[in-house]
């Protein structure tokens, strides 16, 4: 059923009429709608209610009429007459907001038909995405509600995001609504690790891989190498053997069933990614990489800050997991061990993220050597580090054959302190020479204070 201007007006009248009939619903009306959801005299009435409520004054029809200097007395009476009761105020609010949104989008569509440039069109599309992304009404949880919900949750099995490297499952507790950062220097392998994670998660979740740097064909080549075990050299040079094609055919059914979508995202804004993710129903959003997202701001720092805030808000408002790759500043590369401060161009990233993983070469001069994955921030757990082996030909990360990189973990530091302690005197043993062993020539004089 098409929405008309009259439908929207009727919804506005019903919301305001309910608030005038029963002033106790006014707080709900003021928190769940905004002045943009109304038009004409309804905006004046809403603004009067807002001012009265903010001042701690009554919001009944007499107070509202007085605030409006008696100019809308007849209109206020009509609002109360056409609204049978305040019992259905939730329905009225939902209808008012939805119809205001539809009509706003319709007006923007009319403007879009008359644009003269791509930039003008992009601005209008950004406005439309902003309208679609408007937050829902504020939700307040009392302590009684929280206690009851916890009792319900505590008896149900917990389900967290699993990882393709099993050793991470007992350390990372990622849920829908979390914002995860995977940082790394160029060529550390963060894109390959993200693709490996995407394929793993896509077995059970709808995953959108938004690449602002690499084309979908190159991304698929990497995934195919990982899934089938084909070397990247063979794939890049079209040198697959008959045996390789048999392996390809055997794995194709599994690959086709993965709920993974590759999205070339060059030039996209956070709003563009959000709109696409909503349309494609993505439950996990992977972005490669954060600093390439288009954003507004007077400086690069401000732009990256806005991107981080936007992704964090998107994760929470949509109830999805957002994993964003991030470049690390070159300044910390020489030290070999990056920190959260190494995240490039904005300190906002480390504030917004629920989990930060930093991936880097153990030895910066050995490109084929092991990697270290450092858990730099973990709101729900500890922050150890893990040594990983990377098979570049097959684009696969695995835990290194040795133990966790203990020197970066609290357990490792404790072990190091213990190993550096001097043993007790009674436990110390020495290989002593016999007492009658002759001294080398000249040493008897040295022991008596002489010189050689």
Give the pLDDT confidence of 313-372 residue by residue, as tens digits.
Answer: 889 888 899 999 998 876 555 555 787 877 867 678 888 888 999 888 887 777 777 888
pLDDT at 384 over 70: yes
CATH code for position 175: 3.40.50.300
CATH of the domain at 53: 1.10.860.10
Whole-number Å distance between alpha carbons of 418 and 427: 15
Is residue 311 assigned to a domain?
A: yes
Residue 276 within a domain: yes
Is 406 in the same domain as 290? yes
Span 221-243, mean pLDDT? 87
Instruction: Tell me, yes or no, whether 383 and 247 share the same domain.
Output: yes
Specify the residue for token string 């690499």.
214
Q: Do 307 and 200 fall within a single domain?
A: yes
- pLDDT at 286 exceeding the cut of 90: yes
* Residue 124 shares a structural domain with residue 211: no
CA dihedral 264, 267, 273, 275 (to 10 degrees): -110
Residue 284 has pLDDT above 90, yes or no: yes
**What pLDDT shows up at residue 452?**
39
What average pLDDT does the segment 141-151 reach? 85
- Name the percent of the chain lying above pLDDT 70: 83
Q: Does the predicted TM-score (pTM) go above 0.85?
A: no
The lowest-confidence range among 38-52, 123-137, 255-269, 334-348 is 123-137
Walk across the sheet containing 371-378 and list its strands. 260-264, 207-211, 284-288, 321-327, 179-184, 355-361, 371-378, 385-391, 396-399
Looking at residue 150, its pLDDT comes to: 87
Residues 35 and 122 both lie in one domain: yes
How many other CB atoms sit within 10 Å of the CB of residue 70?
A: 10
Question: In which residue are the tokens 């084929």 written?
Answer: 368
Is residue 436 in a domain? no
Which domain, by its residues, includes 52?
Answer: 5-132
Tell me what the pLDDT averaged over the chain comes to: 80
Query: Max Cα separation, the chain?
Result: 122
CB environment 366-402: b (16+ within 10 A), e (fewer): eeeebbbbbbbbbeeeeebbbbbebbeebbbbebbee
Chain segment 9-29, per-residue pLDDT in tens: 888 888 888 888 888 788 778
Residue 153 lies in a domain: no
Count of structural domains within the chain: 2
- Domain-located, residue 419: no
Residue at 441 is within a domain: no
With vertex at residue 110, the alpha carbon angle to CA 108 and CA 116, rounded to the nearest 5 degrees, is 95
- Percent of the chain scoring above 90 in pLDDT: 13
Describe the crossing of helices 5-21 and 40-54 by its angle, rounded to 10 degrees: 30
The two structure tokens encoding residue 404 = 């966790």
Contact 240, 251 (CB under 8 A): no
């Amino acid at each position: 059923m098409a929405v008309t201007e009259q439908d929207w007006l009727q919804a506005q009248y019903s919301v305001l009429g309910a608030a005038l009939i029963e002033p106790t619903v006014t707080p709900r009306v003021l928190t769940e709608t905004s002045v943009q959801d109304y038009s004409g005299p309804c905006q004046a009435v809403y603004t009067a209610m807002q001012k009265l409520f903010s001042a701690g004054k009554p919001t009944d029809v007499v107070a509202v009429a007085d605030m409006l200097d008696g100019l809308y007395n007849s209109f206020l009476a009509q609002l109360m007459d056409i609204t049978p009761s305040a019992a259905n105020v939730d329905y009225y609010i939902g209808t008012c907001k939805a119809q205001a949104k539809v009509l706003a989008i319709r007006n923007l569509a009319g403007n879009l038909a008359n644009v003269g440039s791509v930039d003008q069109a992009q601005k209008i599309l950004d406005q439309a995405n902003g309208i679609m992304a408007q937050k829902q009404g504020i939700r307040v949880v009392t302590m009684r509600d929280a206690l009851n919900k916890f009792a319900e949750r505590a008896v149900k099995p917990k389900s967290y995001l699993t990882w393709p490297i099993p050793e991470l499952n007992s350390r990372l507790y990622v849920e829908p609504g979390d914002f995860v950062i995977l940082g790394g220097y160029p060529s550390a392998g963060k894109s390959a690790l993200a693709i490996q994670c995407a394929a793993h998660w896509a077995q059970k979740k709808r995953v959108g891989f938004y690449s602002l740097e690499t084309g979908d064909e190159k991304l698929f080549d990497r995934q195919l190498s990982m899934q089938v075990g084909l070397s990247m050299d063979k794939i890049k040079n079209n040198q697959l053997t008959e045996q390789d094609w048999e392996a390809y055919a055997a794995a194709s059914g599994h690959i086709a069933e993965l709920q993974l979508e590759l999205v070339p995202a060059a030039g996209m804004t956070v709003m563009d990614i959000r709109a696409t993710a909503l349309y494609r129903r993505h439950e996990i959003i992977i972005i490669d990489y954060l600093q390439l997202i288009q954003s507004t701001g007077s400086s690069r720092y401000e732009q990256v800050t806005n991107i981080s805030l936007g992704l964090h808000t998107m994760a929470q408002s949509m109830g999805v997991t957002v994993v964003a790759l991030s470049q690390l500043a070159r300044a910390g590369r020489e030290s070999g061990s990056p920190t959260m401060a190494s995240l490039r161009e904005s300190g906002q990233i480390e504030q917004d993220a629920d989990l930060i993983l930093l991936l880097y070469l153990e030895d910066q001069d050995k490109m084929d050597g092991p990697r270290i994955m450092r858990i730099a921030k973990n709101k729900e757990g500890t922050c150890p580090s893990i040594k990983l082996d990377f098979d570049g030909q097959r684009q696969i990360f695995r835990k290194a054959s040795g133990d966790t990189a203990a020197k970066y973990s609290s357990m490792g530091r404790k072990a190091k302190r213990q190993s550096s302690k001097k043993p007790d005197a009674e436990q110390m043993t020495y290989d002593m020479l016999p007492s009658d062993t002759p001294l080398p020539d000249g040493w008897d004089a040295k022991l008596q204070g002489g010189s050689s």
